[in-house]
A = this chain, B = another copy of it.
């Protein structure tokens, strides 16, 4: 996997300031602490120069609670095989894999600053910021051949929520939204503040799968393979996840093995769906882009109301269940998940193939475009009537 990634992409790991105004108690020093985001930027190296395409895809992948950006490396390495297929009518431009502020390397970097609130919508705003930073301008080169650029967000579970929130926040940032088992509605006892309230037994059951400190590497490996959420994960992804999360650090005077994900931040993710979800539920109607929802056919993590809500509220919605998939279908059945992602991108690109390519205009062309557009705009937005003066 590593070898394919290195030969197919130019890889950079970057750090950026996260959005500055966050939910209350998201940081310990409200208004002072600056959180940061670590992300990998992959720029596709087209080795076979004969294979070119007018359609360039920018992608950002968003992980679920407790996970990190490394889980998507398998998918983007395997994607190369598809890109080499002559029937595929698109190519990759850039791919972003990011760690949410409480997760992975971002979590490490922000360790001393993280409070008890991780509003998932703040995570979506962070994702939009990173995508805008890396994807825009879509082309820098005035002499570029004409290209069509499409931005795609893919998110799993909490990341699926955030992919939808990205579409609601910036309706023209992503041309296509692909969610995998997105979490929006969970059954929750009524309370006046609309907070997530969890049965304590369920809380205990969750946290028992979240150890973050180990005396030995053997103990760590055993936990990850046999007691964590990841027991059924595809072996290549699990191996990478185990290696990515592992850090040695001094605790209570001796070297211990920890995961990058802090156990408390991990459980907090599960406790912070509401009230943030209320915002998303009321904003699904403002998503302009098509949404492809890949669910795990056997998954019971979200109640049926979740899928029903998305289907009812999102204007352009397609459900595509993955056979035999559970909630972690993206990392348990990664090949089938990727196959569907590629299929839906191809279908979308084909449908958009008549769209005008992106090419910078000269000043004269700009002037006449504005004049033409203005006449059209004015005609659409005014109407002949008898009276009504200022």
Contacts and interface: CB of A to CB of B under 8 A. Distances in A.
A29 to B, nearest CB: 5
A286 interface: yes
A363 interface: yes
Range, interface on chain A: 35 or more
A200 B385 contact: yes
Contacts of A279: 283, 286
A14 interface: no
A7 interface: no
A377 B32 contact: no
Contacts of A10: none
A193 to B, nearest CB: 9
A361 B206 contact: no
Interface in A1-47: 19-25, 28-34
A31 B358 contact: yes
B381 A198 contact: yes
Nearest to A174: B21
Interface string A200-220: 111101100100000000000
B136 A31 contact: yes
Interface string A362-375: 01001001100110
Contacts of A34: 136-137
Contacts of A312: none
Number of copies: 2
A172 interface: yes
Interface in A345-390: 358, 360-361, 363, 366, 369-370, 373-374, 376-378, 380-390
Interface string A261-276: 0001001100100000
A170 interface: yes
Contacts of A201: 385-389
A128 interface: yes
A116 interface: yes
Contact of A390 (B25, B171, B202, B387): B202
Nearest to A24: B172
A86 interface: no
Contact of A170 (B21, B198, B370, B388): B21
A92 B206 CA distance: 48
A330 to B, nearest CB: 20
A382 B20 contact: no
Nearest to A229: B390
A115 interface: yes
A222 interface: no
Given A198-B381, A205-B390, A32 B360 contact: yes
Contacts of A136: 20-21, 31, 34
B197 A32 contact: no
A199 interface: yes
A384 B24 CA distance: 26
A296 to B, nearest CB: 16
Contacts of A271: 377-378, 381-382
Given A25-B377, A199-B384, 7 more contacts: A25-B373, A31-B136, A32-B138, A115-B373, A189-B383, A197-B381, A199-B385
Interface of A: 19-25, 28-34, 112-117, 128, 132-133, 136-139, 149, 169-173, 189, 195-203, 205-206, 209, 264, 267-268, 271, 278-279, 282-283, 285-286, 358, 360-361, 363, 366, 369-370, 373-374, 376-378, 380-390
14 contacts: A21-B132, A21-B136, A23-B171, A33-B137, A116-B377, A195-B380, A195-B381, A198-B383, A199-B388, A200-B384, A201-B389, A205-B389, A205-B390, A264-B370
